[in-house]
């Protein structure tokens, strides 16, 4: 969903999506635990993007990283995220992909 929104709306959409998923999880309505955990982690990353400690837990499946990378790139190009945060994101992505292929 966030990839189809204008960049300025993506961070707010991440907050809304996180809240909905947390409520669904609390009510036992999530469809896929790993999918939900991945989306929640990305939403939390976007919400904490101004924090120097923003990062991803290793639970995000490697196949999700390219999709998230496109969203991060879009947000950096729009000035919604810093290039330094994109560099950290790409570093984390590289670690996860290396582990997946090891």
What local confidence, expressed as pLDDT, does residue 56 receive? Answer: 64
Compute CA distances 91 → 20, 40, 54, 60, 82, whole Å. 29, 20, 13, 14, 14
* pLDDT digits 0-9 by tens, 29-75: 877 788 888 888 888 888 887 665 666 666 678 788 888 888 989 99
Mean pLDDT of the chain: 80
Answer with the residue of higher pLDDT: 36 or 98: 36
What local confidence, expressed as pLDDT, does residue 59 receive? Answer: 66
Distance, in Å, from the CA atom of 69 to the CA atom of 2, rounded to the nearest integer, reads: 12
- What number of residues does the chain have? 102
Domain boundaries, the chain: 2-100
- What is the value of pTM for the model shown? 0.78
């Amino acid at each position: 969903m966030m990839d189809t929104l204008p960049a300025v709306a993506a961070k707010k959409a991440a907050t809304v999506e996180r809240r909905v998923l947390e409520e669904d999880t609390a009510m036992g309505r999530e469809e896929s635990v790993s999918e939900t955990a991945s989306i929640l982690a990305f939403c939390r990353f976007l919400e904490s993007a101004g924090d120097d400690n923003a990062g991803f837990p290793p639970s995000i499946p490697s196949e999700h990283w390219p999709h998230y990378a496109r969203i991060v790139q879009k947000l950096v190009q729009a000035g919604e995220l810093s290039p330094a945060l994109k560099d950290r994101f790409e570093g984390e992505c590289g670690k996860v992909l290396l582990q997946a292929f090891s």
